[in-house]
Amino acid sequence: MAFLEINGLRKRFGSVEILKGIDVDLERGGFLVLVGPSGCGKSTLLNTIAGLETITEGEIRVDGRTINDLHPSKRDIAMVFQSYALYPNMTVAGNIAFGMEMRGVPAAERQKAIDKVAKVLQIGHLLQRKPSQLSGGQRQRVAMGRALVRDPKLFLFDEPLSNLDAKLRVDMRIEIKRLHATTGTTIVYVTHDQIEAMTLATKIAVMRDGEVQQFGTPAEIYNNPTNLFVADFMGSPAMNLIPATIGGNGNALSVVLQREAREPISLPLADAPTGLSAFYSKPIIFGVRPEALTDPEGAERNASNIATADCHIEVVEPAGSDTFAVTNLGGKAVVARLRADANIQPGTVTPLAFNLTKAVFFDPATENRIL
């Protein structure tokens, strides 16, 4: 039995359904990231776990105990808010101790707990300051300290890094990851940033319009997206999703990509998914990540199915660590990821290697993956 179980959770505001039957679970010590565009219901889902929003239907269980109707303070959870929600009228120490004070923990014990958390987060020198005298990163630490001091069963993070500048965000991301590794706590984390989701999670739930689109490990989500939305949302730069048709003959299928003013490219598929034969000579969406589309020298040596085709390079973007080349296939701009020192010029025709073992195919009508 999983540590956190959410079964058939529904949330309605009047006639509007915000959450449409959510099923996710998480093992003890896991890190679940709820990711999706704004308005997908991820924050609402987190709030229902916290008990700050009621649920219409379904069940939430933590460590075998149903917590549906418990008050937030009785759920043995701690939450870090997007704005940190530090009480402006209290010192850092007061903020950290407020929950214990409400539970009637004696002052001496509170002090001990504050000192312990301050040591872990290295905020000992800030304890007597007010939140307004802290920097963004320090506020973030204090907010985490307030959560840590409760030693809860479950940590809830609501977009905790979105108010920080880019560099600090990376630092705090590593810090959260380290915290998770050292304390072994169970965390549910909401973000709209797919990089945060990929780097932090042990499990990701990609959400859209109140539904979980895909639930799995970061690798599963990245390599085997179940539909177009997940494929497009996860990964930066995004996966190339190219309108194509299936050609070839009954035994050896191939992907046919149209090109502007040139004959189409035909890429032979060695081990095409079985479902693909039903799409013979029909339109599909051909998905290939930028790193699976590169110069022939840079292509993965041990990939079993690599096809090379000449492509007209329109734009070259050197990004320092990589060089991105943009070509046009099937009427869409397609990004290829090359080594930083790859010798490639815009306006030339250059062979590009498609790693077809990493390619995925979608049905344009249902937007689902063709397996």
Q: Which residues bind another protein (CB under 8 A)?
A: 47, 50-52, 71-73, 77-79, 81-83, 85, 87-89, 98-99, 102-103, 132, 146
- When the beta carbons of 96 and 293 are compared against another protein, the nearer one is 96
Q: Which tokens sit at 315?
A: 């734009």
Q: Looking at the DSSP assignment, which residues form a beta bridge with residue 224?
A: none
CB of 126 to another protein, least distance (A): 18
Taking only Cα atoms into account, the Rg of the chain, rounded to an integer number of angstroms, comes to: 25
**Among candidates 233, 232, 200, which has minimal Cα distance to 218?**
200
Residue with tokens 């998480």: 26
Q: Looking at the DSSP assignment, which residues form a beta bridge with residue 203?
A: 32
CB of 75 to another protein, least distance (A): 8
Half-sphere exposure of 255 (CA within 13 A, CB side): 33
CB of 56 to another protein, least distance (A): 16
- When the beta carbons of 100 and 292 are compared against another protein, the nearer one is 100
CB of 318 to another protein, least distance (A): 39
- When the beta carbons of 47 and 327 are compared against another protein, the nearer one is 47
Separation CA 201–CA 188 (nearest Å)? 9
- When the beta carbons of 121 and 292 are compared against another protein, the nearer one is 121
CB of 170 to another protein, least distance (A): 24
- When the beta carbons of 88 and 347 are compared against another protein, the nearer one is 88
- When the beta carbons of 96 and 253 are compared against another protein, the nearer one is 96
- When the beta carbons of 50 and 190 are compared against another protein, the nearer one is 50
At position 221, the amino acid (one-letter code) is I
Separation CA 230–CA 119 (nearest Å)? 40
CB of 79 to another protein, least distance (A): 5
**Based on the number of CB atoms within 10 Å of its own CB, is 312 exposed (0-12), middle (13-18) or buried (19 or more)?**
middle
Half-sphere exposure of 305 (CA within 13 A, CB side): 14
Helices (H), the chain: 42-50, 92-102, 107-121, 136-148, 166-183, 194-200, 218-223, 228-233
Q: Which tokens sit at 27?
A: 């093992």
CB of 89 to another protein, least distance (A): 4
